[in-house]
Structure 1
C-alpha cells in the first residue's frame, strides 16, 4: 500500500492571458481546475502510470467539497479529514505573448488543536501493511514545525518506508526521525547540511553526509533541466554508496507545475514494481520531464513518459554513470 499525505491541499486553477497589465480588467481564457498539493499530485502521477495509492488530505468549506469532487473524478482512492477552514486555492496564469508563467498560492487554513489530533489519529489507524508513506507539499499556517516529525515517527513505528518532499524547518526536524528517501532541491539540501548554498561539485558530498548521519537511505536531488542525482546506500555489508546521474531529455517546456511531484510519483511507482534504484531514477526523470510538456497543472501523459523513458534507456551508456565506493 502506498499512502500520500497532503497537509495543505488546494484547488489548482490555471488559465492563460495575452498580456498581464496592472490596473486593468483582464479577460482570461477558460479555466482548468485540478486537485492540487504535493501528495495529491503524487497520487495522480501513480494513478496515471497504472498504480494504486490512497491520498489522505484535509478538506473544508465549499472549496474542500470541490477538491473531493476533483479527486474522485480522477478515480483516485482517497480519505479526507474534515477541517473548519476552507481549503485553499492556487492560481497559475500563463502569459501567451511571452510564455512566462505566474503562480499565486494562498496560505490555506490554520488547524485547531483538535484538527491536528484528528489528522494524527487518521495516520495511526491506517490499515497494515503499509509499504510507502509520502509526505509532500507545503505546511498550513501555524502548524508546529515538529508536526511532520511526529508523523515520521508514527510511520517508522508502523514499519513503512517514508518519502519526504517538503522544505524548511519541518524537513530538518522530520529527517532526524529517519526516512527512506529524500527529494530535496539544491537549496533544501544546503539547508540540511547547514550551509547557505552548494556548488554543483559539492552536492554529492552533501548528500553523502545526510546519509551518513542516518537521516535517510536514499537522496534524490532534483537538478531541474539538468535532470537528477541519486546517492544511496547499496545495502551491502561494506555499506558502499552508489551514485547515479540522469540528465533530463530536452523537450518543449510549457509548465513546471507538478514536475517534482510527478518525479516522486514515478519513482515510487517504479519501486512498487520491484525496480532497482537505477531504473527508479530513470523513471522519475521521465515522469518529471513529461510533466513540463503540458500546460498549467495538467501533469504528464503516460505515452510521453514511455517515449522519454525509452530515450533515456537507449542513451543510458552516455548519460547514466554509476559509481560505487565506501560510505566512509
Structure 2
C-alpha cells in the first residue's frame, strides 16, 4: 500500500522574521529557514512523518529545485524529481515580531512544456503499489486545468483512488475527473458555485451539490477554525476543530489531506479518517513557520477526538 503525490508547481519556502515591516526601509531579518514546499510535497512529508509510505513526484529546475531535492533527501522522503528547463519558484514568508503578523509572498513558477508534463505523469504512475494518488497545490502558469481529467483517466485505468486539493480553475476542472475525494475550503466552494454560503445548512447543501455534480465521491469542506464537514455516499457529517495554540498556518490543509488519505489507505472508515485529518491539521498549526505535523502530536490530538 503506497501513496503517490503530484506537485505541479512546487516552491522552496523561505521563512524569516523581522521586527517591523515598513515600506522604504532596509528590513534586517533573522537567519532564514528553508523548507520544501508545495501541496503534494507537504502531503508526502506528513504521510512519511506519520509512518506511511508516500512518494513525491514534482518538477525540479534551477538552484531552488536542487535545494528542494536535497532537503527531501535529508528528511528521507521518497521522491521522483523530474528535470525541467525552467527554474523552480521560491515562496517568501516574513513573520513580523514575536508573535505578530505574517506576510507571505508567492511567486508564479515556471511554465512546463508538453514533454515535461508527460514525463511527470509517467513518473507518477511508475510508482509501485500505489492505492491513492494525491494531486495538490496550484497549477503552473499556462497549464491547462484539463490535466486533472487526464490524471483521473489514468487513475481509473490503474484502479487507483484520486484525491484533489486545489483551487480556482483547477478546482472547477475537477468536475468529472473521477476523483475519490476533493477538499476545498469554504471560500473556494463559494467562489466555485458563485454564491455566498451563509448558514450551516447552506454549507452542507453546497458540499452535496459538488458531489451531485460529479466533483468526487467524497467531498470534504474545510471550515478553518470550525473544523470540517463531509458528504459521501449516504453520509453527511461535521467534525469540530481541535483548539490548539496556533503558531503558524502553512501546511495545515495539506496535513489534513495527508492524514485522511493515509487513514483511508489503511482501511479506516471515512469518519475516522476525517478525525485523523483534523488532528493532523491542528498539529501543524502548533508548529512554527513552515514546519509540519509531528506524529506524537497528531496521535495525541486524534485520541482526544475519540474519547
- Verify same fold: TM over 0.5: yes
> 2:37 corresponds to which residue?
36
How many angstroms does 1:97 deviate by?
5.0
Matching of residue 212 in structure 1 with residue 205 in structure 2: no
Q: Which residue of 2 aligns with 1:176?
A: 176
Give the match for residue 250 of structure 1: 243
**Corresponding residue of 2:287:** 294
Query: Number of residue pairs matched?
Result: 305
Tell me if structure 2 keeps the 8 A contact 1:130–1:159.
no
Correspondence 1:157-172 to 2 at 5 A = 157-172=157-172
What do residues 277-312 of structure 1 show as CA deviations (whole Å, max 9, x unaligned)?
111011000000110111110011222212211222
> 1:203: how far off?
1.2
- Tell whether the 8 Å contact from 1:220 to 1:231 is kept in structure 2 after alignment: yes
Compare 92-101 and 45-54 and name the one that shifted more. 92-101
State the match for 1:108 in structure 2.
Answer: 109
Give the 5 Å matches for 1:127-276.
127-192=127-192, 194-200=193-199, 201-233=201-233, 241-276=234-269
- The Cα offsets for residues 72-107 of structure 1, whole Å up to 9 and x where unpaired, read as 111111101110111111111111255211101111
Q: Can you list the C-alpha shifts for 1:246-270, whole angstroms capped at 9, x where unaligned?
A: 1112111111000000011111111
Counterpart residue number, 1:237: none
Equivalent in the alignment of 2:60: 59
- Select the structure of larger CA radius of gyration: 1
Q: Counterpart of 1:326?
A: none
Runs of 4+ that moved beyond 3 A: none
| SS, match of residue 131 in structure 1 | strand
Residue correspondence of structure 1 range 13-32 to structure 2 within 5 A: 13-32=14-33
Tell me, in whole angstroms, the C-alpha distance in 1 between the residues paired with 2:127 and 2:25: 53
TM-score, length basis structure 2? 0.95
Equivalent-residue separation in structure 2 for 1:120 and 1:165 (angstroms): 17
Which secondary structure does the structure 2 equivalent of 1:21 belong to?
Answer: coil
Relative distance call for 1:121 and 1:301 in structure 2 (3 A) is closer
Distance across 1 between alignment mates of 2:111 and 2:213: 33
User: How far did 1:127 drift?
Assistant: 4.5
Cα offsets for 1:149-208 (capped at 9, x unmatched) = 22222222211000000011222223312110010111222344x323222321111211
What displacement does 1:134 show? 0.2
Stretches of structure 1 that go unaligned for 5 or more consecutive residues are 234-240, 315-328
DSSP-derived class of the 2:142 partner? coil
